[in-house]
Amino acid sequence: MQSDLVAQINTDHLLQNYQALRACCRPGVKLCAPLKADAYGHGVAIVAPALQEAGADYAAVATVSEAIELRALGWQPPILILGNILAVSDRMERRDRIAAVVKHHLMVTIADTATVRHVIEAEPPEPISVHIKMDSGMGRMGVMPSGVAELVKLVRATRCLRPVGFYSHFATADFENGDLVGRQLRTFGQTASSMAADLPSDTLCHLANSAATITLPAAHFDMVRPGLALYGYPPAPRMSELIELKPILRLVSHVTAMKELPIGHCVGYGQTFTASRPTRLGIIPAGYFDGFPRSLSNAAIVGTPYGDAPIIGRVSMDQLAVDLTDLPAMAMGSEVTLIDDRPNRPNSVQSLARHLGTIPYEITCLLGQRVQRVRVGGGRDVRPGRSHP
């Protein structure tokens, strides 16, 4: 049974974005697909199989449960867990997480000595592959440059750990001012070079996010991690001139109720809209629980086959109202487009993000559990139950 809210995920667009990002890199540079947060809200069950078939080298997730879900979908390439998964107080919980890492052949981020001690304490039955993370200037998770040598030495001395990667993350690669980007790149490059003799020769060094993948070849090293761009959204408007990206998301619904309102009749909570003319009202079964923010009340449109319909009144938990007065052909069941996949539309992800003073990531990640994700385009599914390394 189909939901009243459907996110159409265009895998043809996804693969075109993937190839465009590949083309930004020199031959031999690996591509890690960030699939955390349900593939940035787009639906990992649709996105991951398409990317695996395309040849993605790695996946990055935030949690153990996300990694397990990815394996259940049949994802076979390496999976790097970006979060500090052992920073929990319960010793048995740490053991359970380590057991899951071993069972599903996952890779763990090491950002401090405490994580190393936790792994040793858990006594894994086989060595765990790890990526050491350095804070090159973002001020988030990662060992400071001055502590890298000590941490690398500790990891190398720990028989149950196998270092396979060394990475960091940019804070401002999408900014035109490149001062911090330059400092981070120099810090990371110099540290990686100084550690080359202390790490295995095939250690993967990776730093580049979407913006750096597109604009900064010097930051590509051995692997890139383009997240937002993979889903079709340039990290900054100016980058749309450097690479052709196609949004992969279109959110559609339909009209579930219609009525005629007289002049003076209000619409929705708080009486924020009052009809100034006889108004043909349409109801759409989407609200803030579904990721359509309340702050778009009286301030956005939905697309229809016959023209745009303004949202009137407050967006509520499960419904929003639109003015169909100027669209007489609209009828019960007529399709509406809540989020358009054409970047220049007023209800595209980019336009909504600008209007709300936020970033495209937040718009796509807000999509709720009632939104049914369906694939449009070519490709094939990799069903749960497929074997993996």
**Residues, the chain, total?**
389
Q: Is 259 considered catalytic here? A: no
Helices (H), the chain: 11-23, 36-40, 44-54, 64-72, 91-103, 113-122, 148-157, 179-195, 210-215, 349-356, 360-365
How crowded is residue 190: how many other Cβ atoms within 10 Å of its Cβ? Answer: 12
Three-state SS for 162? strand
State the catalytic residue, choosing from 30, 36, 133, 246: 36
Name the phi and psi angles at 176, rounded to 5: -70, -35
- The alpha helices in 104-258, defined as continuous H runs, are 113-122, 148-157, 179-195, 210-215
Short-list 82, 76, 20, 80, CA closest to 49: 76
At residue 309, φ and ψ (nearest 5 deg) are -115, 125
Least Cα distance to 75 among 96, 99, 100, 55 occurs for 55
Choice among 153, 259, 269, 306 that is catalytic: 269
What span, in angstroms and rounded, lies between the C-alpha atoms of 369 and 128?
Answer: 34
Active site residue 269: yes
Q: Which residue has the tokens 């080298």?
A: 57
In the three-class reduction of DSSP (H, G, I as helix; E, B as strand; rest coil), residue 81 is classed as strand
* Cβ(115)–Cβ(86) below 8 Å: yes
**CA dist., res. 326 & res. 120, Å (int):** 68
For residues 243 and 322, is the Cβ–Cβ distance under 8 A?
no
Furthest-apart CA atoms within the chain: distance in Å: 78
Q: Where in the sequence numbering do the catalytic residues fall?
A: 36, 269
